[in-house]
Amino acid sequence: MTKVEVLIEGYATGHNDVEKISPSVVLIETDKNKIIVDPGFNRKELMDALAHKNIATSQVDFVILTHTHLDHCLLVGAFENAIILDSSDQFFQNGEIKSQDEHTLGHSIQIIKTPGHDQFHCSVAINTDDMGTVVIAGDIFWWTSDTEPSKDYDTLLALNDQYVKDKDALIESRKIVLQIADYIIPGHGKMFKNICK
Ligand SMILES: [Zn+2]
């Protein structure tokens, strides 16, 4: 049994010179593990969301970072017992680093390299019982709260990303996600059903 739940729906708004931002903060629960993807940087919002689920920071087994932009990763240290995963490695809090392998998270969860927004960006694909394949796409897909796009293939491939590092790689990464996902959780924005699969 593998479940995915959006704890904080990612958003990005701007008023005057102040941006207000949160990434999508996602909880994955398997029979063995509690996993947080992108803890974000708003401590109160994160702690409130965990408290609401009755989860202590010490109970979280893994934290996956889609990329290391501070708005997505600043609070990674809040989980005192967690192993931290990026696109390829596992960071243990005793200072050890090891490569990931197929046993790290089990068969229902896959970390996929999706470069473009950032060179080491990854997405997380989860096979669920109730929603098919859910992909936590980080900033492969994101938009500001006032620019919610339509969800057709061409629009999604062409989404503007003002922070893109490698545009060609980003488009390839978007194609991969659109090929496998039944549902997509963007870095900032509401989860949506992938009608392009
Ligand atoms: Zn972001």
pLDDT (0 to 100) of residue 16: 75
The pLDDT value recorded for residue 173 is 98
Residues of the chain with pLDDT below 70 are none
Dig out the tokens for 42 from the structure.
């708003």
Cα 142 to ligand 1 centre (Å): 7
- Mean pLDDT across the chain: 96
Report CA(107)–ligand 1 centroid distance (Å): 27
Q: Cα–Cα distance between 160 and 138 in angstroms, integer?
A: 15
Predicted pLDDT at 91: 98
**What distance in Å separates the CA atoms of residue 121 and residue 99, rounded to the nearest whole number?**
16
CA–centroid distance, 184 to ligand 1, in Å, is 15
Please count the helices (runs of H) and the strands (runs of E) in the chain. Answer: 4, 14
Q: State the distance from the centre of ligand 1 to the C-alpha of 145, rounded, in angstroms.
A: 13
**Superfamily designation of domain 3-89+107-193:** Ribonuclease Z/Hydroxyacylglutathione hydrolase-like (3.60.15.10)
User: How many angstroms separate the alpha carbon of residue 187 from the centre of ligand 1?
Assistant: 6
pLDDT one-digit tens code per residue, 23-41? 999 999 999 999 999 999 9
Instruction: State phi, psi for 96 to the nearest 5 degrees.
Output: -85, 145
The pLDDT of residue 78: 98
pTM for this model (two decimals):
0.96
CA-angle at 48, arms to 23 and 110, nearest 5°: 45
> What are the residue boundaries of the structural domains of the chain, listed by start?
3-89+107-193
